[in-house]
Amino acid sequence: MLPVLVCIAALLLDRLFGEPRLHPLVLFGNTAAWLEKRLNTRKSRLNGGIAMLIVVGIPVAALAMLQFALAATIFRPLLDIVILTFVIGWQSMKQHAVAVSGSLLGGYLSASREKLALIVSRDTHDLNEEQIVGSTIESVLENGHDCLFASLFWYALLGPAGALLHRLVNTLDAMWGYKNERYLEFGFYAARFDDVLGYLPARLTAIGYMLCGSSMLALQSWRDQIGKHKSPNAGLVMATGAGALGIVIGGPVRYGGKLQEKPYLGLGRPAKAGDISRSIRLIEKALLVWLIIYTITIFGLYLLTQ
């Protein structure tokens, strides 16, 4: 039962304290940016793969050796809690989303655009209320997978090194996964590896959304819309999550002033400001379902080994 208690402890710490100002991922991001400037000179997939192996492989290998060395000591659960708390990052996402919602509900459209810009890379200065709500919910649903469910999944399989592996690769994908001239080749392996690591967790996350919302709309969204989004994982969790909420999100957006066509996802009515808090509750209900199933699984495995 110890892994379950570790997950609960990490979630409680994240809820109480959120992300620290001096987060280790900032150092990771700075290191990755420094390495990219030096290796991304020939728009080479090989160079991008080497950079990923260096910046991800070294800390993950070091942590794997440490968790092995501490396996039979009291320090191992403490290590697990510390690492998992750092990689989760759900409370920070939740706070940003609540801030956008509060500004919208208070009628402060301009302030909501500014707060949304803190969590998305798209242009926000000319978005209307429905677009702001939809963009926020997209981020909430996607980050529910990236920062919460996938981290817990890989922790359950491989311990803290697995959780760290996913978080670092996911961060690299956010930095290098753009399909533009600079990153199309260099970020290829980071983007593909992130897709691989997220494949199973994304589908389990979507099932969680389905169980905790409008199941039929979620299932229909999954079935009909899974191939519409360029990301096989993000598209799935956003479509299923929006369907579970009975709303439609997505549509064309601007990046750097350039319009990009994106699919509409979900089924039902247009999204409203109050749906942001509903999306947060959906994720937290799904999290509870995950923890219950994880507890039953661990307990069942324990009984089988006795």
The pLDDT tens digits for 26-57 are 899 999 999 999 999 888 999 999 999 999 99
- Mean predicted lDDT score pLDDT of the chain: 94
What residues pair up with 249 in beta bridges, in sequence order? Answer: 265
The pLDDT tens digits for 252-261 are 999 888 898 9
Residue 71 has pLDDT above 70, yes or no: yes
What residues pair up with 264 in beta bridges, in sequence order? Answer: 250
- Section 99-125 average pLDDT: 95
Distance in angstroms (rounded) separating the CA atoms of residues 159 and 154: 7
Residue 298 has pLDDT above 90, yes or no: no
Residue 157 has pLDDT above 90, yes or no: yes
- Section 102-128 average pLDDT: 94
Q: Count CB-CB contacts under 10 A for residue 259.
A: 10
* DSSP states along 90-130: HHHHHHHHHHHHHHHHTT-HHHHHHHHTTT-SS--TT--HH
* Percent of all residues in the chain with a pLDDT value above 90, rounded to a whole number: 81
Token output for 21:
């100002």
Kindly list the domain boundaries of the chain, sorted by start residue. Answer: 2-304
* Percent of all residues in the chain with a pLDDT value above 70, rounded to a whole number: 100
Distance in angstroms (rounded) separating the CA atoms of residues 149 and 147: 7
pLDDT at site 145: 96
pLDDT at site 288: 96
